[in-house]
Amino acid sequence: MASVVKEFFRTFVILYKGFKVTFITMFKKPTTENYPAEPVHFQARYRGIHVLQRDENGLEKCVACFLCAAACPANCIYIEAAENTADNRISDSDRYAKVYNIDYSRCIFCGYCVEACPTDAITHGHGFELAPYDINAMIYRKEKLLEPWPPPKATPRSSAPSPANVPMPTRG
């Protein structure tokens, strides 16, 4: 008889703890993004769709060193290098990436490619909409990854700081 009473009280305590969490969270205001009516608010460290950067003269920063492709554990980056000519200057180096593809059906957004790049040519952007109906649309080519040039004019936004202007926390 004592074991039945003991089991009853133990069950009651477990249920009380579970319902306590439920009731506390039930009366809190939910944090819901009103997407797509309002823009999504990301943290500065968010790892979204990659962006191939340009330098201040509009030339591509990528020098086709293949370090990002070598660092990628998912093997989703494909690069073909070509030589720059005096007539057609694509990057500031001797070589440039003629073809630069990222297969987002394989990418795990680990950031190893960003860390491996010696010229900071590839960075994580804040793009997040990767849900096409066709798997071939998941392969982003260089033209789609490149930062637009000339840069678009800045439009006034809300008082929230831009993710690009928020300082990244440092490890200490």
CA distances from 105 to 80, 86, 109, 115, 135 (A): 20, 37, 11, 21, 7
Considering the domain boundaries, does residue 167 fall inside one?
no
Amino acid found at 107: C
Q: 123: which DSSP letter?
A: E
Considering the domain boundaries, does residue 160 fall inside one?
no
**pLDDT given at position 155:** 62
**pLDDT given at position 21:** 86
Considering the domain boundaries, does residue 125 fall inside one?
yes
- Asked if residue 38 has pLDDT above 80, the reply is yes
Considering the domain boundaries, does residue 96 fall inside one?
yes
Considering the domain boundaries, does residue 116 fall inside one?
yes
Condensed to tens digits (0 to 9), the pLDDT of residues 92-121 reads 889 999 999 999 999 999 999 999 999 999
Residue 158 burial (CB count, 10 A): 9
Q: Which CATH number covers residue 128? A: 3.30.70.3270
- What's the pTM? 0.69
Least confident of 33-37, 62-66, 93-97, 125-129: 33-37
Question: Any idea what the Cα angle at residue 75 is, between residues 163 and 51, rounded to 5°?
Answer: 25
User: Up-side HSE of residue 80: CA atoms within 13 Å toward CB?
Assistant: 5
Q: Which domain holds residue 128?
A: 50-145
Considering the domain boundaries, does residue 14 fall inside one?
no
| Beta partners for residue 82, in sequence order | 96
Average per-residue pLDDT for the chain: 86
Considering the domain boundaries, does residue 44 fall inside one?
no
**pLDDT given at position 141:** 96
CA distances from 168 to 44, 52, 53, 164 (A): 7, 20, 18, 9
- Determine whether 106 is exposed, middle or buried from the number of CB atoms within 10 Å of its CB (0-12, 13-18, 19+): middle
**pLDDT given at position 52:** 95
Number of domains comprising the chain: 1
Condensed to tens digits (0 to 9), the pLDDT of residues 41-62 reads 888 888 999 999 999 989 999 9
Condensed to tens digits (0 to 9), the pLDDT of residues 57-105 reads 899 999 999 999 999 999 999 999 999 988 888 998 899 999 999 999 9
Considering the domain boundaries, does residue 73 fall inside one?
yes
Which of 153, 149, 101, 92 minimizes the C-alpha distance to 122?
A: 101
Q: Is the dihedral of CA 167, 169, 170, 172 positive or negative?
A: positive
Q: Is the dihedral of CA 43, 106, 75, 92 positive or negative?
A: negative
